[in-house]
A and B are shown apart, each in its own frame.
Chain A
Amino acid sequence: AQSVTQPDIHITVSEGASLELRCNYSYGATPYLFWYVQSPGQGLQLLLKYFSGDTLVQGIKGFEAEFKRSQSSFNLRKPSVHWSDAAEYFCAVEGGNKLVFGAGTILRVKS
């Protein structure tokens, strides 16, 4: 069965600083990977997805993620964080029509 690990429960970065959120997955076949963001009291918004091809994928709001099969990782990055990026971020892997989420990383942005 597929699983996702997000090692960091909380991350605090200064506004304008770079960001990297870690995600490791376990899945026997070719993984379909996603990053979602959730603001308080709201649903999940898709940031980006990886299906195949180029291992560096671009998403919305200036986010990108890199798929590394050898490390079973799909880390999310942003070069310059804005205060509005403060939210919870979920990495997810899909298999068999099921989406399995990591535990999430709460991002705090300090001014």
Chain B
Amino acid sequence: DTEVTQTPKHLVMGMTNKKSLKCEQHMGHRAMYWYKQKAKKPPELMFVYSYEKLSINESVPSRFSPECPNSSLLNLHLHALQPEDSALYLCASSQEPGYSNQPQHFGDGTRLSIL
């Protein structure tokens, strides 16, 4: 059982739609992450939040907008996506930001399809 919960599991949306992905963890972790994973590729880092503040943005297009309302919750707001944005979006968390010896715990992801 994963301790990082992502909803929804699947999402189909048109290019003009606005939707949000949700990620929740109750392990008391203070770092949270969004990754994008295309088929047959490794995950690629998109954003890192440390203590609810955005600390890393890997030059992600503005049609992806992250939000961290509290220490347990991480959202990814989607607007005007392109077909190439279809992918598995993974959320992860780790205990303490800034310490490299903390393993990241992943959710099962949201499978996003853009029509």
Interface positions of A (Cβ within 8 A of B): 32, 34, 36, 41-46, 49, 51-52, 90, 94-99, 101-104
Q: Within the assembled complex, what's the spacing in Å between the Cα atoms of A99 and B107?
A: 15
Q: How far is the CA of A99 from the CA of B45 in the complex (A)?
A: 8
B residues at A contact (CB < 8 Å) = 2, 4, 6, 31, 33, 40-43, 45, 48, 50, 55-56, 90, 92, 97-98, 100-101, 103-109, 111
What separation, in Å, do the CA atoms of A81 and B4 have in the docked complex?
Answer: 28
Instruction: Count A/B pairs, Cβ under 8 Å.
Output: 55
Residue ID in chain A nearest B9 by CB atoms: A41
Q: Taking CB as reference atom, which chain B residue is nearest A92?
A: B42
Is there contact, CB below 8 Å, between B2 and A98? no
A97 near B55 with CB under 8 A, answer: yes
**Which of the residues A32, A36, A42, A46 comes within 8 Å of B100, measured between beta carbons?**
A32
A44 touches B100 (CB 8 A): no
Chain A residues closer than 8 Å to B55, beta-carbon distance: 97
Interface class of chain A by DSSP: strand
B103 touches A98 (CB 8 A): no
CB neighbours of A45 from chain B (8 A)? 106
Q: Tell me which residues across on chain A come within 8 A of B90, comparing CB atoms.
A: 43-44
Q: How many angstroms from the CA of A91 to the CA of B64 in the assembled complex?
A: 27
Identify which of A43, A51, A98, A103 contacts B107 (C-beta below 8 A). A43
Q: Please measure, in the bound complex, the distance between the C-alpha atom of A34 and the C-alpha atom of B104, giving whole angstroms.
A: 10
- The CA of A34 and the CA of B105, in the complex, are separated in Å by 12
Given A90-B42, A101-B42, A102-B42, verify A42-B109 contact (CB < 8 Å): yes
Contacts A97-B31, A97-B55, A99-B104 given: A41-B42 contact, CB under 8 Å? no
The answer to whether A34 and B43 touch across the interface, beta carbons within 8 angstroms, is: no
Given A97-B50, A101-B43, A43–B100 Cβ distance below 8 Å? no
Write the nearest CB–CB distance from A93 to chain B, whole angstroms: 9
Greatest chain A CB density within 10 A among B4, B56, B100 is at B100
Give the top 5 A-B pairs by smallest Cβ distance, nearest first: A101-B42, A43-B106, A44-B106, A43-B108, A51-B101
A97 lies within 8 A of B2 (CB): no
